[in-house]
Chains A and B, each alone.
Chain A
Amino acid sequence: MSDLPLIQADRAVPPPAATTTTRGRGRRLRLLSGTDRVVITLMVLVPLLLVVGLVWLPAGATVLLSGTNWDGIGPLGEIDWVGLKNYDDVVNIYPPFVPAVQNNLLWLAALFVVATPFGMFLAVLLDKEIRGSRFYQTALYLPVVLSLALIGFVWQLIYSRDQGLLNALLGTQTDWYGDPNVNIWAVLLAAGWRHVGYIMLLYLAGLKGVDPSLREAAAVDGSSEASTFFRVVFPVMRPINIIVLVVTVIESLRAFDLVWVINKGRNGLELISALVTQNVVGEASRIGFGSALATIMLVVSLVFITLYLFTVMREDRR
């Protein structure tokens, strides 16, 4: 569910471009042959059907189901309509909801303020072609490649209270995964560990693409390393910066796997996506209730997506 609106984000960009093209080339369009028209129609129709069928319909169904108490059993015709009861329950009598919202925001903040800048910083360092940069690059990117189950297991070995590496090294008895005041930070560290590698690689690719003559020119003009980066390289990399920004927001909204692997998103590790899964997937099958949570998440995602689209489109118009 969590990645559902993100596809909308991707899809939502082309339409304005398309409308301006048709408006501008209205007359020339008629010059197209019959085959061309069929091809163009198909090219529009097929993706449209896919998007509607795989994104909009399920999303709409989720919103509709959030007003029911369906348990996933029996024909659709027997579903009872309960109105806003699920939302009422989510807010008023469902204890994990508030921590989940807080944790989601914390996740966004941590990735945005700490992990992403750190990933950028590492990319800049590696871009300096220091000795062994290949090795560092691989080491830092490794967590992105590892499977989630493995990541969960690796960190369990580190964080385990009785048998973990961390407590053995520090001589402490901190309950890294069990103490709800500590575990979210422990998990954020693990999530950041993965996120940093991802951002680093994206950013490194961007840095490699910066025209070297720009730096040379800056150097000739007597610009320092730092001011070259902030005044020349950073602005030039605007497309990459936007991608990094979007990836960060996406990653924090769909944060799910790590907490699920650790303790299924309970006891201090609540996330809305984990709550949706707890309720909808599996035997619990509170489809209606889970859909209400999913709808709330959709709304939260839409806020970010709207902000993003608004910024991007306004800048494109300039």
Chain B
Amino acid sequence: MSRPRTEAEYLARLVPPSVAGLNRRSLLAGAAGTGALLGTGLLAGCGSDSDSGADSKTVSIGSNASDPTPKDVLAKLAAGFQTKSGVTANINTVDHNTFQENINNYLQGKPDDVFTWFAGYRMRFFAAKGLAGDVSDVWGKLSGFSDAFKKASTGDDGKQYFVPASYYPWAVFYRKSVWQQRGYQVPKTLDDFTTLGTQMKKDGLNPIAFADKDGWPAMGTFDILNLRINGYQFHVDLMAGKEAWTSDKVKKVFDTWAGLLPLHQPDALGRTWQEAAQSLQQKKSGMYLLGLFVAQQFNENEQDDIDFFTFPEIDSTIGAKALDAPIDGYMMARKPKSEANAKKLLEYIGGVDAANIMVKGDPGTLVANTGGDTSGYTALKKKAAELVGSATEIAQFLDRDTRPDFASTVMIPALQQFIKDPKDIGGLLTSIENQKKSIFTS
């Protein structure tokens, strides 16, 4: 589940797939094997005519960039690639949500040579299933990526399967003007954080804006507490199903969270992240732990008033250097029609020219390649890039770091259950562990 970036995208994901062109039964039929035809027909069929020949002068891109801005950026990238290499890149754009929901059928059918996807377990999963192409030799030619980005692009077998394009960090956002007026200071430890929250409550603010109607925002809170309390490696192992959810370590995460819950905006389960962000924008909330995309909910003239800090340290032996910063990028199909062109395209996308196009074209994201000219960044984005640059480890967000079936069918209801009733942590963790065992062993 990706974060909706714009209102249009948010609206688009309100439309169930049954309405958006695929009905439930055909999806089920597709699942039963008869519908692979349908899935690929929808996703890949649209553009494959143009490059069906053995013509080596074309390459196709399957894109989930269905919003105007990212769509425009990708078109510019394709144009830039054509100028540089003489190879035409045909883009097949599919609605963001539909793309994600059909990814299984899409990759098993006739996918485009190169397609948009996300780093982390979601990428490693398809790589391990043999549904993605090895792009290690492309990485040999790329420069400007930190080790953290390379790690996030590497599959279980040590080869690279992913080329990062953009990313956005998660942090605690606030309005400078509110903090100056009240004299709040950025907290350095959990105790500072709690004290600050209590003070905000006294001042009549919701200390921490909070929303979880859509199920995923609370994952960010769980992630950051887990990273601060147990560290990055534990996060990775827990997400990979190697650690028990019933352990004291996980229990401590939920206990800490339960202690912070009274500082969170009440009734989070009926609120969308946009509504929570607007409470911050309207100065009714003091701070909000969310991705950089929170800035979309602020007016143009308020952009300079947004600031953030990384979630404070909880355990001094663990520190506060790890964070969630999901990376979006591109992968190659397992058998592209033209492997040479696909790799050329990926090399171009990972290069500095493409980075410059992305910086200029999309004000909403940070560009993964540090070689890009970032002089056009706002102060907020510069600071966000610095934050990620100084991070020792970058997690990809819960639903990108674990099996999708576990994240969506177990974790979303479980976290909502916790927010509803934070008292029965033991019972909740037993339930998660039972379901985890069943899913991860299957």
B267 within 8 A of A: yes
Within 8 A of B (CB), among A260-305: 260-261, 263-264, 266-267, 277-290, 294
One of B28-36, B64-72, B309-317, B364-372 at the interface: B28-36
- The yes or no answer to B85 lying at the interface (CB within 8 A) is no
Which chain B residues lie closer than 8 Å to A177 at the CB level?
Answer: 213, 269-270
Q: Assuming the A-B contacts A93-B431, A149-B19, A175-B270, are A280 and B14 also in contact, with contact meaning beta carbons closer than 8 angstroms in the complex? A: no
CB pairs A–B below 8 angstroms (18 shown): A58-B29, A58-B32, A58-B34, A62-B28, A69-B442, A73-B104, A93-B431, A148-B15, A149-B14, A149-B15, A153-B11, A264-B214, A266-B416, A278-B409, A279-B409, A281-B27, A282-B404, A284-B409
Q: B266 contacts which chain A residues (CB < 8 A)?
A: 175
Q: Is B413 an interface residue (CB 8 A)?
A: yes
Does B438 lie within 8 Å of A58, measured CB to CB? no
Chain A's interface size range is 35 or more
Asked if B31 and A72 sit within 8 Å, CB to CB, the answer is yes
Please determine whether B24 and A1 come into contact, CB atoms closer than 8 angstroms: yes
Q: Which of B192-225 contact A (CB under 8 A)?
A: 213-215
Contact check, B101 vs A283: say whether CB atoms are below 8 A apart.
Answer: yes
B104 CB contact (under 8 Å) in A175, A264, A283 = A283
Contacts A4-B25, A161-B271 given; 11 further ones with Cβ under 8 A?
A: A58-B25, A65-B32, A72-B31, A89-B435, A96-B413, A159-B270, A160-B271, A163-B275, A178-B270, A266-B413, A284-B404
A176 contacts chain B at the CB level, 8 A cutoff: yes
Q: Is the CB of B122 within 8 A of A266?
A: no
The count of chain B contact residues (Cβ–Cβ below 8 Å) is: 53
Q: What does the 1/0 interface line of B99-139 toward A look like (CB < 8 Å)? A: 01101110010000000000000100000010100000000
Contact B16 A178 (CB under 8 A): no
Query: Bound complex: CA of A73 vs CA of B408, how far in Å?
Result: 18
Is B153 engaged at the interface, CB distance under 8 Å to the other chain?
no
What residues of chain B lie closer than 8 Å to A277, measured between beta carbons?
24
Within the complex, the shortest CB–CB distance from A286 to chain B, in Å, comes to 5
CA distance A177 to B31 in the complex (A): 32
Say yes or no: A281-B270 contact (C-beta < 8 A), given A73-B104, A286-B409.
Answer: no
A290 to B15 Cα, complex, angstroms: 21
B413: which A residues are within 8 A, CB to CB?
95-96, 266-267
Find the A residue at minimum CB distance from B437: A93
Tell me, rounded to whole Å, the shortest Cβ–Cβ distance linking A159 to chain B. 7
Write out the residue numbers on chain A whose beta carbons fall within 8 Å of the beta carbon of B19: 147-149, 257
Q: Which of A3, A257, A283 contacts B16 (CB 8 A)?
A: A257
Partner pick for A260 among B16, B214, B267, CB 8 A cutoff:
B16
B409/A281 in contact, CB under 8 A? no
B233 at the interface (CB under 8 A from A): no
A159 and B414 alpha carbons, distance in the complex (Å): 24
B116 shortest CB reach to chain A, Å:
14
Chain A hits for B131, CB < 8 A: 73
Cα A250 to Cα B270 in complex, Å, equals 28
Residue in A93, A175, A183 whose beta carbon sits within 8 Å of that of B435 in the complex = A93
* Any B CB within 8 A of the CB of A94: yes
A73-B108, A93-B434, A263-B215 known; A160 vs B275 contact (CB < 8 Å): yes
A315 to B307 Cα, complex, angstroms? 73
Residue of chain B at shortest CB distance from A273:
B24
Complex CA–CA separation, A62 to B33 (angstroms): 11
- B412 interfacial by beta-carbon distance below 8 Å: yes
Query: How many angstroms from the CA of A294 to the CA of B29 in the assembled complex?
Result: 13
Which of B18, B27, B413 has the most A CB atoms < 10 Å from its CB? B413
A178 and B409 contact, Cβ closer than 8 Å, known pairs A261-B14, A263-B213:
no
List the A side residues contacting B25 at CB < 8 Å: 1, 3-4, 58
B242 contacts chain A at the CB level, 8 A cutoff: no
Contact A179-B269, Cβ < 8 Å, known A3-B25, A73-B131, A149-B11: yes
| Residue of B with least CB distance to A75 | B33
B333 CB to nearest chain A CB (Å): 15
> Which residues of chain B come closer than 8 Å to A267, judged between CB atoms?
213, 269, 413, 416, 420
Q: Which of B270, B435, B442 has a CB less than 8 Å from the CB of A161?
A: B270
Residues in B whose Cβ lies below 8 Å from that of A82: 442
B417 close to A (CB within 8 Å):
yes
Q: List B contacts of A72 (CB < 8 A).
A: 31, 104-105
Contact pattern, B 250-277, Cβ under 8 Å of A = 1, otherwise 0: 0000000000000000111111000100
Residues of A within 8 A of B270 (CB): 159-161, 175-179, 183
Contacts of B434 in A (CB 8 A): 93
User: How distant is A176 from chain B, measured CB to nearest CB, in Å?
Assistant: 6
- State how many angstroms separate the Cβ of A197 from the closest Cβ of chain B: 19
Tell me, yes or no, whether A162 is within 8 Å of chain B by CB: yes
Is B439 an interface residue, CB under 8 A from the partner? yes
Question: Which of A62, A93, A96 has its CB near the most chain B CB atoms (within 10 A)?
Answer: A93
Q: Judge if A76 is at the interface, Cβ distance under 8 Å.
A: yes
Q: How far is the CB of B11 from chain A (nearest CB, A)?
A: 7
Q: Could you tell me if A285 and B215 are in contact, using CB atoms closer than 8 angstroms? A: no
Q: Is A61 an interface residue (CB 8 A)?
A: yes
Q: Give min CB distance, A76 to chain B, whole Å.
A: 5
Is B17's CB within 8 Å of the partner chain A?
Answer: yes
B191 proximal to A (CB < 8 A): no
Cα–Cα distance between A175 and B278 once the two chains are bound (Å): 17
Q: In this assembly, does A152 line the interface, its C-beta being within 8 Å of a C-beta of chain B?
A: yes
